[in-house]
A and B are shown apart, each in its own frame.
Chain A
Amino acid sequence: MTELLQFSLCLLAFNCFALAKFNHYRDVFKARPSQKQSQQFLIAAWISILLSLLLCVIKHQGYGGLLFCGYMALSVLLLMIFYSFKPSWVKHMSVLNVVLLLLSGSYFVVY
């Protein structure tokens, strides 16, 4: 379950990085992002990615660092596919991502 948490955090982070960019935001929401929105996305992305890295390293030490690299690759691959081929699905994917994050996060907190 912690693996899922780490991965969904990483995916969320890269999703935020993408949404902070003008083009991608416009493709998904059909509107221009304000300067402030972009900034908020960036901050959220950095927090989330650092959290993911932290969780990986605390849980598995060196092995966790490797896992984190793998998560990054997988997240970027997924996002690249969504943003280039199916930008309209990004919203649904983001919702799914957040739900997974909350589920695995609550599991992590409870146990």
Chain B
Amino acid sequence: MKESFFRSMTWMHTWVGLLVCWLLYLIFFAGTISFFRDEVTLWNQPALHSIQAPQERIAQQREQIIAGVDYLKATAPESGRWGIYLPTEREPQLNYAYEKPRPEGKRFGGWQDHYINPTTGDSLQQPRETKGGNFFYRLHFDLHYIDVRTARWIVCFASLFMLVALISGVVIHKRIFKDMFSFRKNKGSRSWLDGHNVSSVLALPFHIMITYTGLITLIFMLFPYPAMTAYDDGVRGLFNDVTPTNVRTKSSDVAAPLTPIDSVLDQIYTNWPNADLTRFSIKDPNKTSATITVRASTGTLVRDQTPTMLFNGVDGSLIAKSVDEYSSTEVFYDSLTALHTGRLANPLLRWLYFLCGIAGCIMIATGCIMWAKRIRERMKKDQKASFGLKLVEGLNLATLMGLPLATCAFFIANRLLPLSLTQRADKEILAFFIAWLAVALFSLFKRAKMQWYLLAWVNAVACISVPLINALTTKGNIVSYLLNSQWALFSFDLVCLVCALLFALQAKKLRTQLHTPTPTTRSNHVTKNSLVEQKA
């Protein structure tokens, strides 16, 4: 296409990046928040804020399971599915859930949750209806308002473009080690380029890892062909081969008493003496087809498949157990998914993941801003902006400034919407998209520095109002969180405040640029002149 390999890579980097940068920004943004999915969900449910993390969490698990089964036996003997969700380090509440009666033609009726404070054993009031962190988790790969499968295909191709852009970016960045720590301020598009380089280089291993592994999580949709060639029943055949606990049983209607839970628990603890159980679920309880599935935490092992045991619910015999020893290929494949989801991460690593995710957002944002800036700088004085440039600038403003505002709107809606609202969770999401749409309409109108400046202030105010509204509408606030060492909630509010500060700084910076007659164009003339000289 172009003369040299280097030039063709530059050309590709520009186009591949520009085509999908806004979608990628959304994916990175939502994904970065999803690293704190459980913490965000907790913040969105003030009813659960009073729970203290239990002291001897693992030691209590046996009692909690027995009590849970008793509770469910008494409350929902006819339900098709019971689930006992044990408290983890990130989710302090105990949950005894059962499936609601299935509507006609549906395969699952949804969970009826019953939250319990694990330290006191009291039932908690039903928390407000919200999607919480799960909204961002789903947005990250299912997008919203469109068919899930289409959305995933789009996300897959966007990620593929990202990977290609990353690789070509490394190729075209000749001074990768030389410029590692340099950032030149106030130099027009040169500064944007430096910002782009620094944010991509500092977390380069993370960027490549997260993009590659992200594609691997959806690989069975993108490339089912190897499994289809090797197995007659395709991907399902592979799953059945790899995970022995993946056994499907037909539901029956014949009643049969549930096996004593004690004997099942004894078997679990003889197999896994120090197990940290996370979930204990029973399918078709009180039927002849009853099965019990137990899942344990993987801890900090780089492994995605949770250790699982499957029991017969009538006679209590062990049907299947996940393999303890993986082959090296399985370890390799499985670790890829584990790296992406980061479920293994302790708080330190989780924050590092978060930091790298933000670096990714900055990388994408600076990349698309830089493109528009360069075109502007190259334009002649009296030349009119082309439609493409206007479109790019509009999308830049709408996504880069719109998404933070939409996120704030989501959290504010969580606190301000009346609790009795029907389909409250969907209304919160609606607030998210309305805020975003408002910014998009605003940027349709004009996209100059002034608009960036205004939106920076709007964002700063929105960010600061999240912890403020939280303090006004719930019992806790950022100070009480600090005093009671509720770190998840404290960090949430702190991050909001930091974002507010950053937006305020941005606004201040933009104001100085608005008042002084653009230094960027002047430096741009200098570069142009030097170019002309070189040519001459």
Give residues in A with beta carbon < 8 Å to B: 3, 14, 17-18, 21, 23-24, 60-63, 66-67, 69-74, 76-77, 79-80, 83-85
Contacts and interface: CB of A to CB of B under 8 A. Distances in A.
B355 A84 contact: no
Nearest to A84: B183
The CB with the most chain A CB atoms within 10 A, among B178, B183, B202, B359, is that of B202
A73 B203 CA distance: 5
Contacts of B58: none
Contact of A74 (B184, B302, B352): B352
Interface of B: 177-178, 180-185, 198, 201-203, 205-206, 209, 300-302, 335, 339, 344-345, 348-349, 352-353, 355-356, 359
Contact of A73 (B178, B202, B301, B335): B202
B180 A23 contact: no
B302 to A, nearest CB: 4
B355 A73 contact: yes
Given A69-B205, A77-B202, A24 B353 contact: no
A80 B185 CA distance: 12
A1 to B, nearest CB: 12
A67 B206 CA distance: 11
Contacts of B302: 61-63, 66
A65 to B, nearest CB: 8
Given A70-B353, A76-B201, 12 more contacts: A3-B348, A14-B181, A61-B302, A63-B300, A63-B301, A63-B344, A66-B302, A66-B349, A69-B206, A72-B202, A76-B180, A84-B185
The CB with the most chain B CB atoms within 10 A, among A18, A23, A60, A80, is that of A80
B181 A80 contact: yes
B498 to A, nearest CB: 14
A14 B177 CA distance: 11
B5 to A, nearest CB: 28
A94 B353 CA distance: 25
B316 to A, nearest CB: 36
A70 B206 CA distance: 8
Contacts of A61: 302
Contact of A72 (B178, B183, B205, B209): B205
A77 B335 CA distance: 27
Nearest to B338: A62
A61 B301 CA distance: 9
Contacts of A18: 180-181
B446 to A, nearest CB: 32
A106 B65 CA distance: 45
A85 B181 CA distance: 11
Contacts of B355: 70, 73-74, 77
26 contacts: A3-B348, A14-B180, A61-B302, A62-B335, A63-B301, A66-B339, A66-B349, A70-B348, A70-B352, A70-B356, A72-B202, A73-B206, A73-B356, A74-B352, A74-B355, A76-B198, A76-B201, A76-B202, A77-B359, A79-B181, A80-B180, A80-B198, A80-B202, A83-B182, A84-B185, A85-B185
Contacts of B202: 72-73, 76-77, 80
The CB with the most chain A CB atoms within 10 A, among B178, B185, B344, B349, is that of B349
Contacts of A3: 348
A17 B180 contact: yes
Contacts of A66: 302, 339, 345, 349
A6 B349 CA distance: 13
The CB with the most chain B CB atoms within 10 A, among A17, A23, A72, is that of A72
Nearest to B209: A69
Contact of B181 (A60, A62, A71, A76): A76
B352 A63 contact: no
Contact of A80 (B177, B178, B183, B300): B183
A83 B352 contact: no
Contacts of A84: 181-185
B312 to A, nearest CB: 35
A69 B355 CA distance: 11
A77 B201 CA distance: 10
A96 B205 CA distance: 27
Contacts of B203: 69, 73
A7 to B, nearest CB: 9
Contacts of B181: 14, 18, 21, 24, 76, 79-80, 83-84
B263 to A, nearest CB: 36
Contacts of B348: 3, 67, 70
Contact of A67 (B209, B301, B349): B349
Q: Which 4 residue pairs across A and B have the least CB separation, nearest first?
A: A70-B352, A62-B302, A76-B202, A84-B183
A17 B181 CA distance: 10
The CB with the most chain A CB atoms within 10 A, among B180, B201, B335, B348, is that of B180
B194 to A, nearest CB: 8
Contacts of A23: 182
Contacts of B356: 69-70, 73
A66 B205 CA distance: 9
B304 to A, nearest CB: 12
A87 to B, nearest CB: 10
Nearest to B184: A84
Nearest to A15: B181
A60 B345 CA distance: 12
A64 B178 CA distance: 27
A16 to B, nearest CB: 12
